Amino acid sequence: MVWSELIQKIVAQGIERGEIRPDIDGRRVQGVLASVFIGTLLTWLFREPDSPRPAFELRSEIAERMRFAFEGLAPVRRPA
């Protein structure tokens, strides 16, 4: 199973469990997660020449940006 298929399967399971909004497309999710990862990596690699290296700690920045992405996948919980 390739990475994109795995992500799509995880999304489908999350939808079944009510952990991910039902309107989410697994193919787009894998694209978004790849973009977040690659974009963060490129930002870290190609910072301004006169800025300190690294501009941020890569692992924690990727984790935080992924958290933002995953929060957007979660269903909205409305108070009863």
Does some domain include residue 8? Answer: yes
pLDDT value for 25: 86
Does some domain include residue 60? Answer: yes
Q: Which of 51, 72, 70, 52 is nearest to 62 (CA)?
A: 70
Amino acid residing at 32: V
Mean pLDDT of 12-20: 89
User: H helices within 1-80, ranges in order?
Assistant: 3-17, 26-45, 58-73
| CA 49 to chain CA mean position, Å | 28
Amino acid residing at 23: D
pTM, rounded to two decimals: 0.70
Supply the range of the domain harboring residue 66: 3-73
CA–CA distance, 24 with 58 (Å, rounded to integer): 28
18-63: pLDDT as tens digits: 888 888 888 888 888 889 999 999 988 887 777 766 678 889 999 9
pLDDT value for 40: 92
pLDDT value for 39: 92
Does some domain include residue 79? Answer: no
- Overall number of domains in the chain: 1
Does some domain include residue 12? Answer: yes
